[in-house]
Amino acid sequence: MKTKFTFLTLFLLLVIACKSYKPFTNKKDKKTNVALIKKKINLSTKEYDVLKKNDSALYAISNAIKGNVKSSLIERRIDSFVLKSYTQGEFLVILQLDSLFPNQKNPFELDRRKNAKHIGFNDLSKFKKFMTEGGLERKIDTLLGMKQKVKDSTKKKQN
């Protein structure tokens, strides 16, 4: 009985004492990604203090850097997050969108106006499907009932 209690106590102490580095795999991975962030992005001390407490944000920023997102865009997103213009969830999603579509001419923006017109998505998979199937132009064409017919220009007209 004493041995079971001892093992149980040691196990609980071990679980409580171990730090979790989710979504990073380990402490070394976290350190290398933080070093990458410091190298690529100019962070103020206030921004760094806010971000170092948030592993999810650090992970999203490192993925955005690895996804070839412009550093100026990432810095703008971080500024908005630190100034509480974005919630944590919005910040993570917008960075993920920037990582998925790094070559967008006009980056994604959040519009909180009540009269703003937008297309709603419940999850990211529906958004990916929408973008791969032609995006907004195709959706508008199908809503208006316009079908684009491809004409064969090599075919000669028959009299």
**Domain extent listing, the chain:** 29-101
Q: Is the pTM of this model over 0.75?
A: no
What six digits make up the tokens of 47?
């921004």
Q: Give the closest residue to 41 by CA, choosing from 18, 21, 56, 61.
A: 61
Q: What is the pLDDT along the chain (159 residues), one digit of tens a residue?
A: 667 667 666 555 555 555 544 577 888 888 898 899 989 998 888 888 888 888 888 999 998 998 888 888 899 999 988 988 888 888 888 888 888 877 777 777 776 666 666 666 777 777 777 767 666 666 555 555 555 555 555 666 555
What six digits make up the tokens of 56?
């999810």
What six digits make up the tokens of 13?
């102490």
